[in-house]
Amino acid sequence: MLKFVFDTNVFISALMSKKGNPALLLDRVKRSYILFISKDILSELRDVISRDKFGYTDEEVNTFVEAIISFSDVVNPGIEIDAIKADPDDNKILECAVASGASYIVSGDKHLLELKEYGKIKIIKPKAALDLLK
């Protein structure tokens, strides 16, 4: 089974549009692939969706985060990677992928996508991930 790590922006996109590629990907988790996430990614996700511009209550934020935890394998990377100088926060995605042995990182972030791959981990957009599952 394929192993994926999603960047925070994929979760946000899935939350914002139930019919977009990120949401379609989340609908297939556990059936078509294994999703890994780290505590650092969860923390960033919670921080981002708690922003006023999204308008979610604390309860809605908690429900969304709990749902992600319920269908993801949470890993503790225990490693530090410094591959993305332009946006060091993106390194947490690489750390999770390396620690979990993921095959793919799914992202819409230009800094990650510019890498194209890190070691044997391919970095792809949500549409490409959906295509892989077909």
Q: Which domain holds residue 92?
A: 2-132
Q: Average of pLDDT values for 88-112?
A: 97
Beta strands in 84-125 (DSSP E): 104-106, 117-118, 121-124
pTM: 0.96
pLDDT at 134: 87
The percent of residues in the chain predicted with pLDDT above 90, rounded, is: 99
Q: Average of pLDDT values for 33-41?
A: 98
Q: How many CA atoms lie within 13 A of 44 on its CB side?
A: 16
Question: What confidence tier does 6 reach under pLDDT thresholds 50, 70, 90?
Answer: very high
Q: Average of pLDDT values for 55-70?
A: 96
If one counts the domains in the chain, the total is: 1
Question: What confidence tier does 89 reach under pLDDT thresholds 50, 70, 90?
Answer: very high
CATH number, residue 49: 3.40.50.1010
pLDDT at 100: 98
